[in-house]
Structures are given as C-alpha cells and as structure tokens.
C-alpha cells in the first residue's frame, strides 16, 4: 500500500513556486483573451459604423447588426477567454511551461515534479528530496518564478488598456458615424426605435418602395434625424431601370427642396412611366435604394376648377385650368373636373379632417364633383379601381381660404394672392 510522505521545506517551496507560475499563466491567458475580445469589439463597431453610413439604419437593420455583434463577441470571449481559463493544467504541464521560458532551470523543476509523481513504494523518497532541493535552488535564481512572463504580462496589460481606451474614446468622442453606431449598438434590449435615441443620425425616406400609376406623380420626402446644424441639405439620386432588355440608366443627382420644418426635404417627380430606383444622401449618410414600381392604374392627368365665389365678394365665376391647390375665400363653391390617364368609373376627394366628396363619371370620361371651401387644409384625389377599391390618384394639394374679399378682384381672383402651400 502506498504511503504519503511528509512534505519538507523544499517541497513546500516548490509547490509555492508552481502555484505562482500557474497564477501568472492564468493572468497571461486572461489578458490575451481580453485584448482579443476588445479588438473584436472595435472591429465590429467600425464595421457597423460603415454599414450604418451606407444604408438607412432602420429598426430591422439595427437588430440584425446587434445580433451579429453579440454572437461574434460572445464567440470570441468563449474561444479566447473562457475556454482557456477553464483549463486546469497539471504540475507537470506547469513545469514544462516554466522550463520553456526559463532555460536556466535545466529541467530541474520538471525532474522534481516527475519523480514526486511516482508512488512511494518505488523507493524514490531520497531522490525526491534531492531533486526538490535542487529545483528550489534553481528557482531562487529566477525569483521563485516571479520573473516568468513578466515582460509579456506587462505588454498584454498595456495592450488591454490601450484597446479599452480606444473603444471608450470611439464610443464617446470618436467620429460622428462611429459614436452614432455605438449608441445604436449599446441600446438596451427594450429599445426598438433607433429614431428615439438622442444623438443618432438617420435618414427617414418616404414613400420608400411604392407602386404608382403609370404616368403618375410622386412626392419624395426625406427627414434628417439627429443632424443638428449639419442637416442643411439632402440630395436625391435616381435612375430609370426599364425592363430586362434595357440596361439601367445613369444615376442622376437632384438637390431636394427644404420645407418649412428643419430637417425636412422634398422633391416631386412627374410623369413616372417606368421602373425607377432612388436613394437619398445627406452628409456622410445614405439611405437604402428604393424602387418605384409602375402599374397600370388610373391617375389624375388634369385638374380644372370653376370657382363660384360667395355673393358678398361681388366676384364673377372664375375658371382655373391645370389647377392643383385651391385658393379662395371661405364659402366658395369649387366645381372640379378631373381628367385621368385611363378610364375610371368614379372617384372621391379625400379632405383632411372632413367628409369625402364624391366624383362621378361624366359623358366625356372625366370625373366631376363640388367642394365648398370652409377651412384651410389638404386634399387628395382617389380613383376607383377594379374590385370596388380606391387607389391614390394624385399628390396632396392645399386648400387655402386666406384670399379675402377686401382685396381687389384682380388680386384675389384665381388664387394669385399668395403662392401655393404644399405639404
């Protein structure tokens, strides 16, 4: 039966040195793993900043990028940090580790550990003590193992500090695109709308992907969020795509028009007859590319009005051809005639905050209806489609009741009192 030999002072000193080296090895593994995880996080942050600067970072994009980042950082932490720290090297492995880094030990520690691992019945008790004394004597020459990995530990610690400072600096005071990406990436899990995060810059583009009637018009809008004083311009890039037999056209650059609200821009496209792609640029951000798909649906080709002014104005009826915005004093009856790009069995005027006005088909193929001006607002025309549904048939137009009878008829008539107001 094997007996346990009492440990002498040499054995205890050898064990202390092995524990010290084991701890230093764990510190090296931990610092190396931490530096790798930090470097991964920095790379992911820069990649996210580049992605968010290239495409519109809506909710889905942000959540996908977050998920990828979490998985990538988690895998890096597991592979380079957690997994190595879960290892429990034996005394023999620590002795090999020590001997590899301190050749002056001349295998004394490894020999002492190997002999001590033999059973007591092997009769190596005396040899064990001798080898342990020789190993501890040599270990004193390397400061009991404290010299092991001293330089690598210092370098790894400095690297971790530099990487951590870099990550914090990029997050707080880095380039705008990087700090914005950091805010989006570090949102709590309950946050679902990037637009609600202070300091985050993004582009909100309307209508995005849309189906429009062939030959119809479309109002494109861009809202710059979080730009501050930098959000003073937006550029629309568009091109026609056509069909499979026709190559796409060249990208055209058009400056969008600023609206009354800060950060709001718009541009109206007329007579869209083929598949069109577009995106918006503002500063160093760019939206995703959207498509305007052309369908064979009716659309308003012409609006004509006959203004029947109230009796108190003393104004005769007035006819407006190729109209749009309605500008007339309250109480004016506006008789509308609507021409369409293709036959429509009916339609309606949808008025902001009011009931709709029916448009009925006339013998000449136009649609007609009458609106009484009561208050300012906006209206749009919807046209009847197959199946009894209605489709949007026009842009939004303004109803303006600020033309007053106190002005001379040649100023008030026909809505030339002031420029049209558009939404």
What is residue 415's three-state secondary structure? helix
- How many other CB atoms are found less than 10 A from the CB of residue 208? 15
- Give me the pLDDT at residue 409, please: 45
- Give me the pLDDT at residue 335, please: 94
Tokens of 108: 């004394």
Length in residues, the chain: 423
The three state secondary structure string of 173-208 is: HCCHHHHHHHHHHCCCCCCCCHHHCCCCCEEEEECC
Q: Report the relative pairing of strands 210-213 and 290-295 from DSSP bridges.
A: parallel
Place of tokens 């001006």: 373
Q: Is 73 exposed, middle or buried (0-12, 13-18, 19+ CB in 10 A)?
A: middle
Tell me the Ramachandran region of residue 376: left when phi exceeds 0, alpha when psi lies from -120 to 50, beta otherwise.
beta
Alpha carbon distance 259, 398 (integer Å): 15
Q: Which helix (H) or strand (E) holds 282?
A: strand 276-282
- Give me the pLDDT at residue 419, please: 35
CB 220 within 8 A of CB 241: no
Cis peptide before 74 (omega within 30 of 0): no
- Give me the pLDDT at residue 406, please: 43
Radius of gyration of the chain (CA): 39
Alpha carbon distance 143, 148 (integer Å): 9
In 226-274, which ranges are E strands?
235-240, 252-255, 257-258, 264-272
Alpha carbon distance 118, 311 (integer Å): 119
Q: Which CATH number fits the domain 202-295, given the four candidates 2.30.40.10, 3.40.1390.30, 2.60.40.10, 2.120.10.30?
A: 2.60.40.10
Domain boundaries, the chain: 9-185, 202-295, 300-415
- Mean pLDDT for each 10-residue chunk of the chain (423 residues)? 47 76 85 93 90 68 85 93 87 75 68 64 52 68 71 88 93 81 67 49 83 84 73 85 75 87 84 89 82 86 91 89 89 92 88 86 92 89 81 86 51 39 38
Q: Report the relative pairing of strands 252-255 and 276-282 from DSSP bridges.
A: unpaired
Alpha carbon distance 357, 346 (integer Å): 11
Alpha carbon distance 403, 418 (integer Å): 8
310 phi and psi, to 5 degrees?
-60, 155
With CA atoms as reference, report the closest residue to 335 among 366, 297, 296.
366
Comparing 202-295 with 300-415, is the CATH topology the same?
yes
Alpha carbon distance 18, 133 (integer Å): 14
CA dihedral 373, 376, 377, 381 (to 10 degrees): 20
Number of H helices, E strands in the chain: 9, 20
Q: Which CATH number fits the domain 300-415, given the four candidates 2.60.40.10, 3.40.50.10540, 1.10.1200.10, 3.40.50.10440?
A: 2.60.40.10
With CA atoms as reference, report the closest residue to 91 among 124, 121, 116.
116
What's the predicted TM-score (pTM) here? 0.48
CB 129 within 8 A of CB 8: yes
Alpha carbon distance 171, 414 (integer Å): 58
């Amino acid at each position: 039966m094997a007996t346990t030999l009492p440990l002498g002072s040499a054995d205890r000193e050898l064990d202390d040195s092995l524990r010290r080296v084991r701890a230093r090895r764990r510190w090296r593994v931990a610092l190396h793993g931490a530096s790798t995880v930090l470097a991964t996080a920095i790379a992911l942050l820069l990649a996210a900043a580049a992605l968010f600067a290239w495409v519109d970072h809506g909710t889905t994009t942000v959540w996908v990028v977050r998920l990828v980042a979490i998985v990538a950082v988690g895998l890096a932490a597991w592979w380079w940090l957690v997994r190595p720290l879960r290892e429990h090297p034996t005394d023999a492995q620590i002795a090999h580790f020590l001997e590899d880094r301190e050749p002056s030990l001349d295998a004394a520690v490894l020999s002492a550990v190997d002999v001590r691992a033999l059973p007591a019945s092997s009769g190596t008790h005396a040899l064990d003590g001798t080898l342990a004394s020789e190993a501890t004597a040599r270990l004193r020459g390397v400061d009991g193992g404290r010299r092991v990995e001293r330089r690598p530990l210092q370098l790894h610690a400095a690297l971790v500090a530099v990487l951590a400072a870099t990550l914090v600096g990029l997050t707080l005071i880095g380039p705008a695109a990087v700090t914005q990406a950091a805010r989006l990436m570090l949102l709590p899990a309950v946050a679902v709308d990037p637009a609600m995060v202070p300091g985050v810059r993004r582009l909100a583009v309307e209508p995005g992907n849309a189906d429009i009637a062939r030959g119809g018009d479309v109002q494109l809008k861009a809202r710059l969020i979080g730009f501050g004083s930098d959000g003073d311009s937006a550029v629309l890039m568009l091109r026609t795509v056509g069909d499979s037999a026709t190559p796409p056209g060249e990208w055209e650059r058009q400056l969008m028009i600023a609206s009354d609200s800060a950060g709001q821009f718009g541009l109206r496209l007329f007579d869209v007859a083929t598949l069109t792609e577009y995106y918006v640029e503002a500063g160093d951000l760019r939206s995703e590319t959207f498509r305007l798909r052309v369908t064979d649906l009716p659309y308003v080709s012409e609006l004509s009005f006959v203004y029947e002014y109230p009796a108190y104005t003393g104004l005769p009826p007035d006819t407006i051809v190729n109209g749009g915005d309605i500008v007339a004093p309250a109480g004016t009856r506006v008789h509308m005639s609507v021409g369409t790009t293709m036959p429509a069995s009916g339609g309606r005027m949808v008025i902001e905050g009011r009931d709709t006005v029916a448009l009925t088909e006339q013998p000449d193929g136009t649609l007609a209806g009458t609106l009484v001006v009561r208050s300012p607002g906006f209206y749009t025309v919807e046209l009847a489609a197959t199946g009894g549904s209605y489709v949007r048939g026009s842009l939004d137009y303004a109803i303006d009741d600020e033309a007053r009878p106190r002005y001379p008829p040649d100023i008030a008539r026909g809505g030339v009192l002031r420029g049209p107001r558009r939404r």
